[in-house]
Amino acid sequence: MRTGVWLVGARGSVATTSIVGALALRAGLTGPTGCVTELPELRGPALPSFADLVFGGHDVVATPLAKRAEALAAAGVLPGRLVTALAEELAAVERDLRPAPTGGRQADRADATARDLTDFRRRHALDRVVVVNVSATEPAAQPHPGHADPTALRAALAGPDEVLPPSSLYAYAAVRAGCAYVDFTPSTGLRLPALAALAAERGVPYAGHDGKTGETLVKSVLAPMFAMRHLAVRSWSGFNLLGGGDGATLADPAANAAKVESKQRVLGETLGHLPQGGTRIEYVEALGDFKTAWDLITFAGFLGTGMRMEFTWHGCDSALAAPLVLDLARLTAAAHAAGHAGPLTELAFFFKDPIGAPTHSLAEQWRTLCGFAGRLHAGGTDDPRR
Ligand SMILES: NC(=O)c1ccc[n+]([C@@H]2O[C@H](COP(=O)([O-])OP(=O)(O)OC[C@H]3O[C@@H](n4cnc5c(N)ncnc54)[C@H](O)[C@@H]3O)[C@@H](O)[C@H]2O)c1
């Protein structure tokens, strides 16, 4: 199954690491550590192989992909030998990267984006394309009457207003071009009634939001533990220090607020209440693409005895995120091929703020994911629209 993976933010750290990783896997230069779709529970015939994946994408900057990969190698995110060995393959991907459409009304930009997607599909004779948003986190969308339904949206986009934030304009173009959409960021993306209705109308599946790779991943394991042992969590404070492009973006208070909200949801929904404390994100340029998170949890046990727990996470964000981007592209393409449309709630395992998911417990999300993959491999679908 020849599958296009169209990355929005294609020259960023996560995108570049995903591309280098997939090319290295295809060439047999590395193993699939971190790719959950290569675990025995998820592996199977419904998924496109790494060799089936063809990359393209949009970005607002023009830094050559090879230069970005070299910078990531110099920062210790990926091995430099891979960048040298894959020079030709990276040059081939470079030819499929396009500047983000600019100018005109939003309807014109959506048309240009959809054209880039359909040209990509045709040029490489792809069975399907999955658009994955790994672009910079944007502030929460401003409400607009055009968000209500597809008819209102089409009319509004043809006018002079900036109706949709960039992530949602890409999602709109993806759906119109018949591409599945995955949002690895906390941005609005497809989370607007007009876009959800359009995706259902066009039979397009989508997944999101915000890849779960570090502190929130640990929270989604620990919070159910406190809940299941009936321990009373009083406070949970998290401090995240990060550098890299993502860190620089999150230095903006509006983008920071979108991310913090996404990181706290797991606690409120797992514990049934929001404990005191919050999550802070601070930009520390010297950390580069590495992140340190320190969490302090205070809780009470039997007879009100107070206790505390703390953990420190040192992660390389792009190395944690990239294999999940490949997993999501493979699973979403397989779901699209099997006739699934609308939100893929079964992929909650991958996200901090999963669309429509009833649980934030990683263990439960894992069981759901395994069942879903099993049905895809068995050739079935449980989508009633099929
Ligand atoms: N790394 C992780 O562990 C992780 C986890 C969850 C979510 N994310 C999210 O993934 C995203 C990417 O992270 P990153 O570290 O690669 O960031 P990055 O800053 O390195 O890359 C973002 C890229 O998006 C591009 N971009 C910005 N606006 C754009 C637009 N309108 N259209 C197209 N491209 C645009 C930028 O030029 C840049 O190349 C962020 O939103 C981050 O919050 C990352």
Whole-number pLDDT of residue 9: 98
How many A from CA of 206 to the centre of ligand 1?
Answer: 19
How many A from CA of 47 to the centre of ligand 1?
Answer: 26
How many A from CA of 213 to the centre of ligand 1?
Answer: 14
CA distances to 203, 299, 339, 371, 380 from 186, in Å:
24, 29, 26, 26, 31
- CB of 263 within 8 A of CB of 279? yes
How many A from CA of 372 to the centre of ligand 1?
Answer: 28
Which mutation among 246, 290, 327 tests ligand 1's pocket best, with the greatest number of atoms within 8 A of CB? Answer: 246
Q: What is the dihedral of CA 156, 159, 165, 166, to 10 degrees?
A: 120
Whole-number pLDDT of residue 14: 97
| Residue 241 φ/ψ, nearest 5 degrees | -115, 120
Of residues 44 and 280, more confidently modeled: 44
In ligand 1, which atom is closest to the CA atom of 166?
31
The token pair that represents 75 in the structure block? 């920062």
| Residue 73 φ/ψ, nearest 5 degrees | -65, -45
DSSP H or E run through 357? none
Whole-number pLDDT of residue 293: 94
pLDDT band at 243 (very low <50, low <70, confident <90, very high): confident
How many A from CA of 298 to the centre of ligand 1?
Answer: 33
Q: Whose CA is nearest to atom 5 of ligand 1?
A: 211
The angle that helices 166-176 and 193-202 make with each other, rounded to 10 degrees, is: 20
Whole-number pLDDT of residue 385: 41
Q: Whose CA is nearest to atom 13 of ligand 1?
A: 246
How many A from CA of 231 to the centre of ligand 1?
Answer: 37
Whole-number pLDDT of residue 247: 75
Q: Which of 193, 26, 207, 19 is nearest to 130 (CA)?
A: 207
Whole-number pLDDT of residue 203: 97
Whole-number pLDDT of residue 61: 98
In ligand 1, which atom is closest to the CA atom of 211?
6
- Expressed in percent and rounded to 5, the helix, strand and coil fractions of the chain are 45, 20, 35
Average pLDDT over residues 152-175: 96
On the question of pLDDT at 8 being above 70, the answer is yes
Whole-number pLDDT of residue 79: 96
Q: Whose CA is nearest to atom 11 of ligand 1?
A: 134
Mean pLDDT of the chain: 93
In ligand 1, which atom is closest to the CA atom of 248?
19
- CB of 275 within 8 A of CB of 234? yes
On the question of pLDDT at 378 being above 70, the answer is yes
- CB of 198 within 8 A of CB of 153? yes
Name residues contacting ligand 1 (CB within 6 A): 8-9, 11-14, 58-61, 100, 134-137, 166, 184-185, 210-211, 213, 244-246, 249, 317-318, 320-321
How many A from CA of 49 to the centre of ligand 1?
Answer: 25
In ligand 1, which atom is closest to the CA atom of 17?
16
Whole-number pLDDT of residue 380: 58
Whole-number pLDDT of residue 386: 42
- CB of 52 within 8 A of CB of 337? no
How many A from CA of 365 to the centre of ligand 1?
Answer: 25
Using CB atoms within 10 Å of the CB of residue 296, give its burial: 0 to 12 exposed, 13 to 18 middle, 19+ buried: middle
pLDDT band at 288 (very low <50, low <70, confident <90, very high): confident
pLDDT band at 248 (very low <50, low <70, confident <90, very high): confident
Average pLDDT over residues 348-355: 93
pLDDT band at 259 (very low <50, low <70, confident <90, very high): low
